[in-house]
Structure 1
Amino acid sequence: MPVVEISHLLDELICAGCGTRNALWLYPVRGVVECRECGEKAVVIVEPSGGDQ
């Protein structure tokens, strides 16, 4: 059975690498944001609480 990975589209954000809007996806389990247009990736720290404390 294939593993389904959770991802979230980051609305209205622009990729710094290629300038494409609405192509950035967050993969919270891997801690990565990836541009689906150019393939550029950035490592991020995802807070389980959502960042609100």
Structure 2
Amino acid sequence: MGKNIIEKEKFLGFYYIGYFVFIILIVLITFFENPYIISFALIAFFFIPGSLLIAS
């Protein structure tokens, strides 16, 4: 029972991180329109949740 709650919290955490990164990505595209910044943000978007998954 307790383990399921932890798994659910972890899932929600990834959802909020993804949503937050998505907002940052939109802001970066809107203000800079720089392909290097956009590609870096996309790499971060995929890398950060993966590294958190490994760390947890």
Q: What TM-score comes out, normalization by structure 1 length?
A: 0.25
Q: RCO greater where, 1 or 2, for CA within 8 Å and sep 6 or more?
A: 2
Q: Larger % of helix: which?
A: 2
Q: When you count strand as a share of all residues, which structure comes out higher? A: 1
TM-score of the two chains, using structure 2 as the length reference: 0.24
